[in-house]
Copies of this chain bind each other. A is one copy, B any other.
Amino acid sequence: MSIERIRNEALRQKVMSAEAAAEFVKDGMNLAITGFTGAGYPKALPTAIAEKAKAAHARGESFGIGMVTGASTAPECDGVLAEANAIKFRSPFQSDPTLRNSINAGNTAYQDMHLSHVEQQMRQGFYGKFDIAIIEATAITEDGKIIPAMGIGHGVEAVNNAEKVIIEINGALSAGLEGMHDVYAEVGLPPHRKPIPIIGAFDRIGTTALDCPADKILGIVLTNAGDRNSKFAEPDEVSKAIAAQVIDFLDHEVKAGRLPKSLLPLQSGVGNVANAVMAGLLDAPFEDLTGYTEVLQDGMLDLILAKKMKTASATALSFSPDALARFNENIEFLKDKIILRPMEISNNPEVIRRLGVIGMNSMIEADIYGNVNSTHIMGTKMMNGIGGSGDFTRNGFFSFYVSPSTAKGGAISAIVPMVSHHDHTEHDVMFIVTEQGMADLRGKSPRQRAKLIIDNCSHPDYRDMLRDYYDRAEKAGGLHTPHILLEALSWHQRFVETGDMRIK
């Protein structure tokens, strides 16, 4: 029973229904809601708030909230609230289809922010005041401290910053999560900041629970429901080819003496290709790997269970149903091998740069000069957001961007003359990898990069088109970054009009 998870007697008196808790949430409020890539989000309260919103709208009244989460949540959180047209403002990462439609229809104002900046900008007051924090938790201790759920996200700052707090205790979570978190609330504000004392990727610097004054807690809701445990696709040939190139390159660096045999701490973005790279590491010639990442998915879990990876630091655990079962079964073994941190720490520029993290992230598209679009479809529509990719790309030892060379059955090229939105610039991106090959952009000028990216990474269906664009661009203007300004985004426009970037 979830109630037993509340080990503080006084706080048991605060248990109430989701509907009762939802009454605290009023039109126009600014909420901080935990949740990070399908883990650690509240399961019951968002639906109750959504019902309240629908009833208000039916009465002709306004009801909308501002909502800052850790990263993406799930249908029972972002989904139901967007469906009820209740999200006026949303930041940072999201991936729910209903919310995405609301953003792209202009109904939700969405600010896409680097994950490492969210907690600090909350603290600095850049999002305004937060009325209520809604946080999912595994348990409450005897002395009233909160044990977070499958991810911490921005939970530390949510609790500290919001005026009031509502907690959801989820009885479906393994009680064994207790002890896995590393809650560090000492970052503070300038001019009073000190170094973040992480020297090794697994260093524990905080406590295992969140502090929250009892009088801040408006209510506690009991739930018993799983996270958004999406299944991963089995790695296909394309993903395996991409993974093989990354691993070959890392192996080459180890053999040249430029990387230790245990590499450097690995960050892996979300999605199937990133997961395939992790799967490929199972058979790679490295030992004693470490992880320093945002989201720990199936692939990294299996590396730990196979003892190829010693330890992993993450902000959230996002598993398929099978991997969740493996995690729960092995939680005693995993307890001293996985550490869960606030997103401000997992994505921190200081720590990422110090540790020399190897960052691997998916992209929507790259252009011939090495700029990367991680967020927009055809320049105008938001996909999921930048997440932490920019934190790792700017600060990591290596930054890889991986993608199949085409999408939509070949109708979209992942390599284009100019990206339709810039998230990571030519100054930051080091490696572009597709199943066709890899381009090492380090220490190269834009024109040197263009040759490599077109030759190595583009799909043969688009290679001649790219060369033709580039050759004509060299005659059109300056020769530092050759472009034909009125044609640079024409491939995207052609797709919008014809459903295919190829000229028919």
A interface residues (Cβ-Cβ under 8 A, vs B): 89, 91, 103-106, 109-114, 120-121, 124-128, 189-191, 193-197, 199-200, 258, 260, 264-265, 349-350, 353-356, 371, 376-382, 386, 390, 394-395, 397, 420-423, 425-428, 442-445, 447-448, 473-474, 476-483, 485-486, 488-490, 492-493, 496
Cβ contact within 8 Å between A109 and B481: no
Q: How far is the CA of A190 from the CA of B194 in the complex (A)?
A: 21
Of the A-B pairs whose beta carbons lie under 8 Å apart in the complex, a sample of 19, sorted by A's number, is A89-B445, A91-B443, A103-B479, A109-B445, A109-B447, A113-B427, A114-B428, A126-B442, A190-B354, A190-B397, A191-B355, A349-B350, A349-B394, A371-B422, A376-B480, A377-B478, A379-B483, A380-B480, A486-B490
In the complex, which residues of chain B have a beta carbon less than 8 angstroms from the beta carbon of A423?
425, 427
Assembly stoichiometry (copies):
2
Q: Interface centre among A423, A445, A473, by most B CB within 10 Å?
A: A445
Q: How far is the CA of A479 from the CA of B381 in the complex (A)?
A: 7
Q: How far is the CA of A265 from the CA of B127 in the complex (A)?
A: 23
Cβ contact within 8 Å between A485 and B478: no
Cβ contact within 8 Å between B489 and A477: no
Q: How far is the CA of A324 from the CA of B103 in the complex (A)?
A: 54
- Other A-B contacts than A113-B427, A191-B356, 17 sampled, CB-CB below 8 A, are A109-B448, A114-B394, A121-B443, A128-B443, A190-B356, A191-B260, A191-B265, A193-B353, A193-B354, A195-B199, A349-B353, A380-B477, A382-B480, A386-B427, A486-B490, A486-B493, A488-B489
- Decide yes or no: A478 and B353 within 8 Å by CB, A113-B427, A445-B111 being known contacts: no
Nearest to A490 among chain B residues (CB) is: B486
Cβ contact within 8 Å between A481 and B355: no
In the complex, which residues of chain B have a beta carbon less than 8 angstroms from the beta carbon of A477?
378-381, 496
Nearest to A197 among chain B residues (CB) is: B195
Q: How far is the CA of A120 from the CA of B151 in the complex (A)?
A: 33
- Decide yes or no: A111 and B444 within 8 Å by CB, A258-B125, A354-B195, A356-B189 being known contacts: yes
Q: How far is the CA of A493 from the CA of B127 in the complex (A)?
A: 38
Q: How far is the CA of A112 from the CA of B445 in the complex (A)?
A: 8
A100 → chain B, closest Cβ, in Å?
Answer: 9
In the complex, which residues of chain B have a beta carbon less than 8 angstroms from the beta carbon of A353?
120, 193, 349-350
- Decide yes or no: A480 and B110 within 8 Å by CB, A349-B350, A445-B89 being known contacts: yes
Q: How far is the CA of A381 from the CA of B488 in the complex (A)?
A: 15
Nearest to A481 among chain B residues (CB) is: B380
In the complex, which residues of chain B have a beta carbon less than 8 angstroms from the beta carbon of A121?
442-443
- Decide yes or no: A114 and B354 within 8 Å by CB, A378-B485, A382-B480 being known contacts: no
In the complex, which residues of chain B have a beta carbon less than 8 angstroms from the beta carbon of A425?
390, 422-423, 425
